[in-house]
Amino acid sequence: MKTPKRIQPLVEDGLIDEVISQLMSGKEATVYMVRCGSDICCAKVYKDADKRSFKQAVQYREGRKVRNSRQARAMEKGSKYGREEQEALWHNAEVDALYKLAQAGVRVPKPYGCFDGVLLMELITDEDGDVAPRLNDVKLSREEALEHHTQIIRDVVRMLCAGLVHGDLSEFNVLVDQHGPVIIDLPQAVDAVANNHAEWMLERDINNMRDYYGQFAPELLTTKYAKEIWAIYESGKLKPTTVLTGHFDEPTEAADVESVLVEIQEAFEEEQERLGRIQSANDDD
């Protein structure tokens, strides 16, 4: 196909030889299948900030480090330089997360680098060599659902041990290849220590997976991996090899009614946001 304008600089630099096809165009990015020498890769072109939706929300940025105070001041003021810096940080966040997670043994696409707002990475394919489907598009047997759920929980733990929470993990951001689930779409990944929203984001991520795989294996629906994992993490004992049960005994001390109400309101808002995302993902199809 004709080379899209945003990819042209990478063709001129010899990083990409040919754009084969467009895979997806969503709210946040447009994704292409490209040829780099004899390899077929995936190129993700981020949309401009004003065309993106929720992921640049301030909640996700909390705790991200900036290089120096000049950069921080410019970003606070919202000057042109500041906005460009903010964009560069956003683009680099995903490639940085991919390198870190690949290193930690999490199944993610192998990253090749981010150039001019274009992320080059491994194209995930199925056993026939076709582009791998999203989890939302596959039917699983009960056994497969249980096995894939175990794999994804293990990867979420590896990720947390590497200091990151995905923050937008859902059946739309997991691809399925012949070996199981592969996690994608990480520009919003949050710092587990520095971001105060990390706990509820981890819980939402894990519960999305529980609910999705639970359609095929209903016994998953009563598991409490999120609470169990966070409790072990907070005690400083979580390791990639920690044995998990899916059980968690809620603390029994007297209920703090006010904070329960706040949590209910937050859970309601999250659910509205999640439904909105599912709606817009369906609109994109």
Site string for ligand ADP, 51-90 (x = CB under 6 A): ----------------------------------------
Q: Does 131 bind ligand ADP (CB under 6 A)?
A: yes
With CB under 6 A as the contact rule, the residue among 173, 195, 207, 208 that binds ligand ADP is: 173
Q: Which residues contact 213 (CB under 8 A, 6 or more apart)?
A: 140, 145, 146, 148, 149, 152, 220
CB neighbours (10 Å) of residue 66?
16
Q: Which is nearer to ligand ADP, 93 or 121 (CB)?
A: 121
Q: What token pair was written down for 12?
A: 């001129």
Closest approach, Cβ 33 to ligand ADP, in A, equals 8
* Chain residues that interact with Mg ion, rule: CB under 5 A: 173, 185
What is the number of other CB atoms lying within 10 angstroms of the CB of residue 264?
10
Give the pair of three-digit tokens for residue 164.
Answer: 């990151």
Q: Is residue 117 part of the contact set for ligand ADP (CB under 6 A)?
A: no
Residues shown for the chain: 285
**CB of 40: closest distance to Mg ion in angstroms?**
20
182's torsion region: left (phi>0), alpha (psi -120 to 50) or beta?
beta
Measured CA to CA in angstroms, residue 281 lies from 53, 172, 274, 275, 284 at distances of: 12, 8, 10, 10, 5
Q: Which is nearer to Mg ion, 90 or 233 (CB)?
A: 90
Taking the C-alpha atoms of residue 191 and residue 71, their distance in angstroms, rounded to an integer, is 20
**Active-site residue (options: 17, 39, 50, 168):** 168
Please name the helix (run of DSSP H) or strand (run of DSSP E) that holds residue 181, with its range, or none.
strand 180-183
- Return the C-alpha torsion angle 6, 119, 169, 197, nearest 10: -90
Kindly identify the residues of this chain, within the stretch 91-110, that bind ligand ADP according to CB under 6 A. 109
Q: Following CA atoms 8, 9, 13, 16 in sequence, which dihedral angle do they give, to the nearest 10 degrees?
A: -40
| Cα–Cα distance, 238 to 187 (Å, whole number) | 24
128 included as an active-site residue: no
Q: Choose among 207, 216, 244: nearest CA to 228.
A: 244
- CB nearer ligand ADP, residue 93 or residue 184: 184
Minimum CB distance to ligand ADP smaller for 28 or for 155:
28
124 binds, among ligand ADP, Mg ion, none (CB under 5 to 8 A by kind): ligand ADP
Of 22 and 150, which has the nearer Cβ to ligand ADP?
Answer: 22
Q: Which is nearer to Mg ion, 86 or 173 (CB)?
A: 173
Of ligand ADP, Mg ion, none, which one does residue 224 interact with (CB within 5 to 8 Å by kind)? none
Name the active-site residue from 185, 211, 249, 256.
185
Residue 31 binds to ligand ADP (criterion: CB under 6 A)? yes
211 given a catalytic annotation: no
Contact string (CB under 6 A) for ligand ADP, positions 194-213, x = contact:
--------------------
What residue ranges bind ligand ADP (CB under 6 A)?
Answer: 23-24, 26, 28-29, 31, 42, 44, 109, 121-124, 131-132, 134, 172-173, 175, 184-185
User: Among all residues, which ones are annotated catalytic?
Assistant: 168, 185
